Every structure is written in structure tokens, then in C-alpha cells.
Amino acid sequence: MLAAERRDFLLTRLRSAGKVVAKDIAAEIGVAEDNIRRDLREMAAAGLCQRVYGGALPAAPAEADYATRTTVAADSKGRVAALAATLIPPGGTAILDGGTTALAVAAALPADLAATIVTHSPTVAAALVSHPTVDVYVLGGRLFRHSVVTCGAATAEAAARITADVFLLGVTGVHHRAGLTTGDPDEAAMKRTLAGRAAETYVLASAEKIGAASPFEVLPLSRVAGIVTDVPADHAELGRLRGLGVQLLEAAP
């Protein structure tokens, strides 16, 4: 089998199984394990997979820059946002993460919702300016341009003074083995801090995030109340997540 054929085989297996184990693939197709590991390194360098110990997981396309992400899975994000907006209790306090799906949640809030929204996203805050009955609190700090959110010590200190009913968390990967992941360690730490300030955390998981993984863990799956997604109910990764006892809130595709 040629190198290009092996890479096609590996990509197909990643999509179908949600992971590849280098030693198992090497035995299956009769090549040296070092060849498979080299293939996976090259694929990871090209952004085609996420390397983990012993193999690889599907890469998260949601790690693209902010402008690009606004065009990725826009319809899926809208469906997830519409369902996630119903999780904010009237009269309650919600922390809304940054990112393009969170921005869609801001747009999906009912016009008569009276609630308090806390966010470290300037774009989300700006989108809520015209909402007549939502009080908006913005957490300041250093701007992380990739996701257009604040992070760092100042943001974490401000978050420590907040207590919320719910946190709507954005991630770039939701995977039964890797958990909830994102592409930057400081952003991952900030998300953990925000999750610690809410009674319940729900994950905003549009289609491109399900079954994908990024380098840095945000939270294990056991730490969230549920995952809001619109992928079909028979999606293989959803079955794996259900097997772990993860609650899935499924928006109609």
C-alpha cells in the first residue's frame, strides 16, 4: 500500500471509528508501525488529525480563525443556538461563552427574556446591546484575538465574583475519548474557570465539533450537564457519548 493510500485509509477509519490506534492499523494492513506513526505525524502537521498517545483522533475544523468560523456550519450553529437559548431561565443569570455559536445564541434569545448575561466576549456583548430586557456584564482582561474573548488573570479574577445558573460553553471538539477540548491552553483554563462559576454547564456542539478533538482539554464529559447538538440521532459518536451516560439535548436537524 502506497503512502497516499495509507493516508486515505487512515482518514476513512478516523471518520468511521472516531480514532485510529497505530499498532492495530499496522497489523491490519501489514506494514511497520513506524510507517503508520510517520503518516499520522504528517497528517497532524497538515491539520488532518489530532495526535494522541498511540494513535490519532479526528481534527477539529472549529480551530480556524474567527472570520473563517463564521462561515462554518452556520445552519447547524443556528439550530444549536435556538435550543440552547431555552436553557437560560427567565430572571436568572447565565454565562455565555465566546465564539460564533455563542453569538448565534445571543441572536436567538426571546425578545421578552428578562435575564442577566455575563460574557467575556465583546462581540456577544455588542450583539446584546439592543435586547431591551437583558442586563449585560462584560468580564475584562487581555483580548485573545483568535476567539475574540478576554482571558488571563484579570478575567479570572472578575469571574470569581460571579455566580450563575447556567454556563453555555463553546468548545472546538467533543469526543468520547478526548472529552471537551479547544486549541489554546489559556482559553481552556478560562473556560474551566467560567464553568466553575455556574450551577450547570451545557456544551454548544454544532455538527463540525462532534467526534473531533483539539490539543487542550477544557473539561471531562462527566463535568457537564449536557451537550446541545443537532447531528442526527444515529450518528456514531452520539452513540459512544450515550454509552458514557452523557445527556444529549438534540435540536431538530
Rg (CA), the chain: 19
Set out the domains of the chain in order of their start, with CATH numbers: 3-59 (1.10.10.10), 66-250 (3.40.50.1360)
Distance CA 135, CA 48 (A): 42
- Find which of 44-48, 70-74, 187-191 is predicted with most confidence, using mean pLDDT: 187-191
AA identity, residue 34 = D
Segment 217-237 shows an average pLDDT of: 94
pLDDT digits (tens, 9 = 90+) for 105-144: 999 999 999 999 999 999 999 999 999 999 999 999 999 9
Segment 133-162 shows an average pLDDT of: 93
pLDDT digits (tens, 9 = 90+) for 180-226: 999 899 999 999 999 999 999 999 999 888 988 888 999 999 999 99
CA distances from 150 to 41, 126, 180 (A): 32, 14, 20
Residues contacting 146, CB < 8 A, separation 6+: 65, 66, 183, 184, 187
DSSP 8-state symbol, 189 = H
AA identity, residue 93 = T
Q: Give me the pLDDT at residue 171, please.
A: 94
Distance CA 197, CA 202 (A): 13
Please state which of the ranges 14-18, 123-127, 152-156, 182-186 shows the lowest mean pLDDT: 14-18
CA distances from 106 to 5, 90, 101, 201 (A): 45, 15, 9, 17
Q: Can you read off the three cell numbers belonging to residue 12?
A: 476513512
Q: Give me the pLDDT at residue 64, please.
A: 53
The verdict on pTM exceeding 0.85 is no
pLDDT digits (tens, 9 = 90+) for 77-114: 899 999 999 999 999 999 999 989 999 999 999 999 99
| Torsion from C-alpha of 148, 174, 103, 252, nearest 10 degrees | 170
Sheet strand arrangement including 134-138: 134-138, 115-119, 93-96, 164-170, 198-205, 226-229, 248-250
